[in-house]
């Protein structure tokens, strides 16, 4: 595997992003070009992203770090199609999200993106089984028992399927959330501080799980984290500050 660090420079020589290409010939699964996201706060425009260029290749596990308010979560929302970019382009598996309508981005999320959130975001009324199956139902191909069983066994949830979120530990809830995210075989898994609400042991379990999904199944993962130790589980780390990716480094 060719591991070469590539730095993209802007015209003023500032670093826009860094990337590692496992296979130089591979097309990126995710690419952003001069991505801007500006929020309107009262009468003031606040730029959360200020021209971000990121490339993620298939099979990568990219961690995005940075201080609070630097635009990490906004970047995740925009590349996941939850929010619309103000300027620039987002290409996800060849689809330009910035040219898409709300309905088209909904379809793209359904078929190509899996989300994992810090607060797990499981539906409290449903047990683990139905939380996972819900994703398959929304995906539109109905319940796929084979894929369901594979994912449930992979995440060690077999004995917890009939428990509701309130009956599960934080680590178990996050495993259910991961199962829900990958049961539809998304092209990319976007995790927003997945260990932010977990203790150290549960965090390690979840991170190992994500690394296993990446290494063993080739699942592309983009993870936001505050925790430098968590970032070591990825294959590459991007650092953000003030709405920009300021540097990147390959880890593995």
Partner 1 sequence: MIGHMILRNILHRPARTLITVIGIAVEVTLVILVVGLTTGLLTESAKRTEGVGADIMVQPPSASIWAAFSGAPMPIRIAGKLKKLNYVQAVAPVLVQFNSVNGLDIVYGIQPDTFSGVSGGFVFHAGHGLEAPDDILVDDVYARAKDVRVGQTLHILGHDFHVAGVVEHGKGARLFVLMSTLQQMSGAIDKASIFFIKCDRSDHTPAAMDEIRQLLPGYEIRPLKDFISLMTSSNLPGLSAFISVMIGIAVAIGFLVVFLSMYTTIIERTREIGVLKSLGASKSYIVEIVLSETMLLCILGSGFGVGLSFLMRWVFVTAFPSMTILILPRWVMFSGMIALAGGLLGASYPAWIASRKDPVEALVYE
Q: Which stretch binds partner 1 (CB under 8 A): 49-57, 115-123, 198-206, 210-218?
A: 115-123
Q: Which stretch binds partner 1 (CB under 8 A): 19-27, 131-139, 207-215, 243-251?
A: 131-139
The smaller minimum CB distance to partner 1, of residues 20 and 113, is found at 113
Selection from 156, 242, 231 nearest residue 193 by Cα: 231
Pairing of the two strands 4-9 and 15-21:
antiparallel
H helix intervals, the chain? 72-79, 102-112, 128-139, 145-154, 170-182, 200-217, 228-231
Q: Which stretch binds partner 1 (CB under 8 A): 127-135, 197-205, 216-224, 233-241?
A: 127-135
Residue 148 interacting with partner 1 (CB under 8 A): no
Cα–Cα distance, 31 to 92 (Å, whole number): 7
Dihedrals phi, psi of 224, to nearest 5 degrees: -95, 135
Site for partner 1 in 191-250 (CB under 8 A): none
Q: Taking the complex as a whole, how short is the minimal distance between the CB of residue 21 and partner 1, in angstroms?
A: 29
How many residues bind to partner 1 according to rule CB under 8 A? 29
Selection from 56, 63, 61 nearest residue 79 by Cα: 56
Among 130, 147, 163, 241, binds partner 1 (CB under 8 A): 130
Cα–Cα distance, 132 to 145 (Å, whole number): 11
The smaller minimum CB distance to partner 1, of residues 184 and 195, is found at 184
Rg of the chain on CA atoms, in Å: 18
Residue 38 interacting with partner 1 (CB under 8 A): no
Interface residues toward partner 1, by CB under 8 A: 77, 80, 82-83, 103, 106-111, 113, 115, 117, 121-126, 130, 133-135, 137-139, 143, 180
């Amino acid at each position: 595997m060719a591991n070469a660090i590539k730095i993209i420079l802007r015209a003023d020589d500032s670093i826009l992003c860094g990337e590692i290409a496992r296979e130089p010939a591979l097309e990126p699964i995710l690419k952003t070009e001069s991505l801007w996201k500006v929020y309107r706060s009262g009468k003031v425009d606040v730029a959360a992203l200020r021209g971000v260029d990121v490339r993620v290749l298939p099979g990568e596990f990219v961690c995005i770090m940075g201080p609070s308010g630097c635009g990490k979560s906004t970047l995740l929302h925009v590349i996941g199609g939850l929010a619309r970019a103000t300027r620039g382009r987002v290409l996800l598996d060849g689809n330009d999200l910035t040219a898409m309508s709300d309905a088209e981005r909904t379809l793209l999320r359904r078929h190509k993106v899996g989300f994992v959130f810090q607060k797990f975001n499981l539906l409290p009324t449903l047990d683990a089984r139905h939380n996972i199956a819900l994703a398959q139902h929304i995906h539109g191909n109905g319940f796929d028992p084979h894929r369901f069983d594979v994912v449930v066994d992979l995440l060690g949830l077999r004995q917890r399927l009939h428990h509701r979120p309130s009956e599960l530990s934080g680590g178990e809830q996050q495993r259910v959330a991961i199962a829900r995210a990958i049961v539809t075989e998304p092209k990319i898994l976007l995790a927003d501080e997945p260990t932010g609400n977990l203790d150290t042991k549960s965090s390690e379990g979840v991170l190992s799980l994500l690394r296993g999904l990446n290494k063993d199944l080739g699942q592309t993962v983009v993870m936001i984290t505050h925790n430098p130790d968590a970032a070591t589980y990825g294959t590459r780390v991007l650092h953000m500050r003030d709405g920009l990716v300021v540097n990147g480094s390959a880890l593995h």
